[in-house]
Amino acid sequence: MDKRKFKKWGIIFCVLFVLWVIGTISEKSDKSVEADAPSTEETVADKPKVLDVSNLELSDEKYINAIKDTNKFIGDIKVEGDKVTILFKDDMPILSEKSLVKNMAINGVDTFQKAFENSKANTVELIARSRFTDSYGNEEVKDAVNVTWNREISDKVDYSNYKNLLHQDYTKLYMISEKFSIHPSIWNQLDQEDKDNMNM
């Protein structure tokens, strides 16, 4: 009988020991998860605050910088009354004429969105400039692509869906614009289908 009691207590002791080991491992893992997981305060502190530009003056440097943050190729921004004119640098890398027009649409929509977040902006014009060489070899910087939206257009746009739509068909940005112009030498290089879509 003594052997049986000893064996029984041995088994009980082994089971308790195994449960203790499992409990210890579980506690350590819970503590490491807690240590790894940021607290609510840390999470809130780490999130970059989005600047509310809705009521800033259009000439406010914070508003101007928020627009510039949408595209590294934005050069100058001019404000006249309730109109914001955004000039892109003339040294933007351009693969082709079509890529300039397409990139202006796909990247320009973010700029329009940020500019129209300000309730005082009623018209926003994007201008991409480029260097052109005439038949005599004279080089001159001119407007390559110019597109204007007004508040009414912007208010109708669901920006999150619209961005995806532009990746499928960039001409839609021009189709809904108040007005747009494309330098003739660039216009002539576009696909006829794209030109037809823009003129609808």
pLDDT, tens only, 103-132: 999 999 999 999 999 999 999 999 999 888
pLDDT, position 29 = 53
Q: What is the per-residue pLDDT across 46-64, written as a single tens digit (0 to 9) for each?
A: 555 677 888 899 999 999 9
pLDDT at 43 over 50: no
pLDDT, position 99 = 85
Q: Region 143-157: what's the mean pLDDT?
A: 96
pLDDT at 69 over 90: yes
78-84 long-range Cβ contacts below 8 angstroms, 24+ apart: 82/58, 82/120, 82/121, 82/122, 82/123, 83/121, 83/122, 83/123, 83/124, 83/125, 84/58, 84/115, 84/121, 84/123, 84/124, 84/125
* Least confident among 23-27, 66-70, 78-82, 145-149: 23-27
Q: Cα 46 vs. chain centroid, distance in angstroms?
A: 19
pLDDT, position 165 = 94
DSSP-assigned letters across all residues of the chain: -HHHHHHHHHHHHHHHHHHHHHHHHHHHHHHHHHHHSPPHHHHHHHSPPPP--TTS-TT-HHHHHHHHTT-TTEEEEEEETTEEEEEEPTT---S-HHHHHHHHHHHHHHHHHHHHTSTT--EEEEEEEEEEE-TTS-EEEEEEEEEEEEHHHHHH--HHHHHHHHHH-THHHHHTSSEEEE-HHHHTTS-HHHHHHHT-
Residue 27 pLDDT level (bands cut at 50, 70, 90): low
% pLDDT > 70, the chain: 76
pLDDT at 34 over 70: no
Residues across the chain: 200
pLDDT at 197 over 70: yes
Which of 47-51, 71-75, 96-100 is the most confident on average? 71-75
